[in-house]
Amino acid sequence: MPPTSLRLHRSIWVLSCFFALLAPTWAAGAQGPGRTPMNQPSLLLEGAFTGNVGVEARGAPAGGMAVAQYGARLSVPLPAVDQRWFPSIGVRYRQHDLDRDPGTPVPDTLRSLSLSLNARGSLSPDWSLFGSISPGYGNAGGGFTERGFGVGVMALATRKFSADVSAGFGLRYDSLARGSTRLLPIATFDWSPAPGWRAFLGFPRTGVSWTISPEVSAEFVAEMDFGSYAVADDPLPAGRNKPALNRSRLEYQAVRVGPALTWQMAPAWRVRLGAGIVPVLEAEYESRDYRLRSDGTAGFASLELDWKF
């Protein structure tokens, strides 16, 4: 690894650890006594499991897999700028463990680690803007390496049409991706047709929600789980009817559909339980023109725990 790249690689790790250790101190300095949920630091722990599903590639069976996914995200607000712009900084780690059937040409793990610098603010009484830049790593089948380094950028403009309706548009760019997720248009829509009810189109979740009580709400959503990962070694070098997959990029995508229940256990604690089906699961080596796609539907269950401190 070249010296410059090695220094950059180490810097991501050092900054991630440094940020995690100093986050509570920064948050205390950035916030006054009247904190709200929007400007409090938060730690989100998440996990999900997708049952085993068979996959096909080029019209032929190519094995199957189950997926266990878990991760953590720490977000901390920074001091406001001109009382109109509200920056924040975050660090996120995600891992997918793929329990593969024999002969399935996918890595056993997918890992990502990223830092993010975000800002949201008001352009006018009706328009707001959100922007984010996220350098980090995405690697498959091993530890983080230089080839897994990439930068994500997102920008989203939103207009509020009334107290009940808003809509937005934007773009998301991922320098690590090589397939359809490299540049994604984003559209959002939020509508509250009646007290307690909300319909939303967003990224990565779209659905409807119903507030049952101040502490409990229910949803029915479709959500995307995806990422881009550098692959160093071919996960199935002796496999037939497939190209060599070493030194490639893997685009992982899954669509999850189902109900979810959110419970605000305490002012600082929120838990979300979800379950449903995964109608689409894909693992694509875009540069090798090789895609694995589920040939059936699997079930899933998910859990999120959000702590604001």
Q: What is the pLDDT of residues 222-257, one digit of tens each?
A: 999 999 999 999 999 887 789 999 999 999 999 999
Q: Is the model's pLDDT at 162 over the cut of 80?
A: yes
Q: What is the pLDDT of residue 287?
A: 85
SS3 letters across the chain: CCHHHHHHHHHHHHHHHHHHHHHHHHHHHHCCCCCCHHHCCEEEEEEEEEEEEEEEECCEEEEEEEEEEEEEEEEEECCCECCCEEEEEEEEEEEEEEEECCCCCCCCEEEEEEEEEEEEEECCCCEEEEEEEEEEEEEECCCCCHHHEEEEEEEEEEEECCCCEEEEEEEEEECCCCCCCCEEEEEEEEECCCCCEEEEECCCEEEEEEECCCCEEEEEEEEEEEEEEEECCCCCCCCCCCCCCCCEEEEEEEEEEEEEEEEEEECCEEEEEEEEEEEEEEEEEHHHCEEEEECCCEEEEEEEEEEEC
> In a 10 Å sphere around its CB, with 0-12 CB exposed, 13-18 middle and 19+ buried, how is residue 265 labelled?
exposed
Kindly report, residue by residue over 170-217, the tens digit of the pLDDT.
Answer: 999 999 988 777 899 999 999 999 999 999 998 889 999 999 999 999
Q: Which residue has the tokens 């920064």?
A: 26
* Tokens found for residue 89: 């900084």
Percent residues over pLDDT 70 in the chain: 88
pLDDT band at 29 (very low <50, low <70, confident <90, very high): very low
Q: What is the pLDDT of residue 38?
A: 57
pTM of the prediction?
0.86
Kindly report, residue by residue over 100-117, the tens digit of the pLDDT.
Answer: 999 999 999 999 999 999
pLDDT band at 5 (very low <50, low <70, confident <90, very high): very low
* Separation between Cα atoms, residue 112 and residue 93, nearest integer Å: 6
Q: What is the pLDDT of residue 83?
A: 84
Mean pLDDT, the chain, whole residue set: 89
Q: Is the model's pLDDT at 11 over the cut of 70?
A: no
Q: What is the pLDDT of residue 275?
A: 98
Mean pLDDT of 7-27: 48
CB within 8 Å of 201: residues ≥ 6 apart: 187, 188, 189, 190
Q: Where are the domains of the chain?
A: 3-31+43-308
